[in-house]
């Protein structure tokens, strides 16, 4: 948003969100210059200490509004930059284990079987 004046530079409003632990969300609202990248937003918001904690297995996985983005993507006004934590358990594996614990008769189609009906109907 350019200001009516001589040498004022234009800025865009950006939100940066990170979930460091379950139920612990931090959010920053920043005014960055036009042409700023995702990397610029991360350094302006989190600082190096938080970024180094997130970079345990390489570069942090980041996205804009839920879509994975590279660090060199140029930001648009009102973008929401999200920093993602790695999953501790693969969702497919967790579902298989949960299904094995509950048993086949108490989940899914088998949970609401009509009395006298065939299995799976």
Report pTM.
0.60
- Residue 13 above 60 pLDDT? yes
Query: What is the per-residue pLDDT for 107?
Result: 57
Ordered domains of the chain (ranges, CATH): 11-84 (3.10.20.30), 87-121 (no CATH)
Give pLDDT tens digits for 50-94: 566 555 556 668 889 988 888 888 999 999 998 887 778 888 988
DSSP string of 1-68?
---SSSSPPPEEEEEEEEEEETTEEEEEEEEEETT-BHHHHHHHHTHHHHHHHHTTTSSPEEEETTEE
CA dihedral 67, 68, 70, 72 (to 10 degrees): 20
How does residue 6 score in pLDDT terms, banded at 50, 70 and 90?
A: very low
């Amino acid at each position: 948003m350019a200001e009516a004046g001589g040498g004022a530079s234009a800025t865009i409003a950006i939100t940066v969100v990170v979930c460091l632990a379950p139920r612990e969300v931090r959010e920053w609202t920043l005014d960055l210059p036009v042409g700023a990248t995702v990397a610029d937003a991360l350094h302006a918001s989190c600082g190096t200490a938080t970024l180094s904690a997130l970079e345990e297995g390489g570069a942090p996985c980041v996205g804009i509004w839920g879509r994975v983005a590279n660090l060199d993507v140029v930001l648009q006004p009102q973008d929401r930059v999200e920093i993602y934590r790695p999953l501790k358990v693969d969702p497919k594996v967790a579902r298989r284990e949960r299904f094995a614990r509950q048993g086949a008769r108490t989940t899914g189609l088998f949970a609401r079987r009509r009395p006298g009906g065939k299995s799976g109907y």
